[in-house]
Amino acid sequence: MERCLKMKIYKIKAKEIFTKSKLPGCDYVINQYVGCEHACSYCYARFISRWKKRGEWDTWVEAKINAPELVKGRKIDGTVFMSSISDPYQPIEKELKLTRKILENMDKNIRLSIQTKSDLVLRDIDLFKQFKNLDIGFTINSFAGEQKEDFEPNSSTNKERIAALKKLHEAGIKTYVFISPIIPGLIDLEKVIKETKNYTEYYWFEMINMGGAGKSFQEMLQQKYSENYKMAKDKKVLEDYREKIKELVKKYNIKVQGIEIH
C-alpha cells in the first residue's frame, strides 16, 4: 500500500513514550506515531485534532523520532499496548522504521500487545520471536470494494490481513482478532470467524461507537448507508447483534476477551 501523498509528516521529539492507560487489557500505551495514514473514516482518535492544531484529521502524522531511545533500559510492570491513536505499521513505517527500532531496543521481558491493519507487520517476525510475552492483533472486518474505500481506504485488505495472521500463527506468534467496527448489516461476523478461527488465540468484538466515530462519519453513513445508519442507532438491533455474537462464540467454541458481549 503506497503512502497517501496528502499526508504531512511532522517529526518531533517526545519527553516520554510510555503513557498510563485505562484501556481494557493494558496498563500502558505507546504511540510512536500520532495520526494515521490509513485514514479510517470511523477513527475514534479524530478528537485529537482539536488540540493538536495541525489541521484536519487524516491529513497529518506526527512521528516521535526519538521513541526508540526512550524505550532503552526501561523496565515496565504491566502490559504495554501499541498503539492507541495510530497504527504502528502504517505506510510511513516503511520509511522511518520507528516501530522496528523500538522493538529492537525494548526490554524483551515486557508484556507487549500490538494491534494493526497492515501486513507490513510480517517484516518484524524475527523481533517478535525475541519477546517472552507478546501477542499481535489484527483488526479484521468484512469491508471490501466500495465499503472499504469508504471506511478504511489506505489499509491492507482483509484478505491480506488474514494471510498475515496465518503467517504469524505458523511462525509461532500468539495472535488475536479484533472484529471492529461492527456496523449492523455491513459486517459478516460468521464469515470473519470462519476465515480466522484456525489462526488466532482469541477474539475481541466491538460494536460501532457512533459518538466516538464523529459527526462526519455519521453523516457519511446516513447518506450512503441509510438503513445501516438507522440500525446502528437502534438499541434493539444492537442488542440483537450482541446476542448473535454470543451464539457464534458458542457455535465455534472460540475464546473471547473484552466487555462487549458480557
* 3 within some domain: no
In a domain? residue 221: yes
Nearby residues of 69 by Cβ (< 8 Å), 6 or more positions away: 105
pLDDT in tens, 61-110: 999 999 999 999 999 999 999 999 999 999 999 999 999 999 999 999 99
Asked if residue 262 is part of any domain, the answer here is: no
Render pLDDT for 12-35 as a digit per residue (tens, 0 to 9): 999 999 999 988 889 999 999 999
pLDDT band with cut points at 50, 70 and 90 for residue 193: very high
The predicted pLDDT at position 5 comes to 52
Classify residue 4 by burial, with Cβ atoms within 10 Å: 0-12, 13-18, 19+.
middle
Number of domain units in the chain: 1
Note the pLDDT of residue 9.
Answer: 96
Does residue 1 fall inside a structural domain?
no
Q: Is the dihedral of CA 250, 251, 252, 253 positive or negative?
A: positive
Residue 112 inside a domain? The answer is yes
Domain annotation covers residue 2 = no
Residue 42 lies in a domain: yes
Residue 238 domain boundaries:
8-257
For residues 248 and 187, give the distance between their C-alpha atoms in angstroms, rounded to a whole number: 14
For position 96, which CATH number holds?
Answer: 3.20.20.70
Nearest 5°: the CA angle 49, 55, 56 is 70
Mean pLDDT of the chain: 94
Coil, helix or strand for 181?
strand
Residue 79 in any domain: the answer is yes
Query: DSSP for 62-124?
Result: EEETTHHHHTTT----SEEEE-SSS-TTSTTHHHH-HHHHHHHHS-TTSEEEEEES-GGGGGG
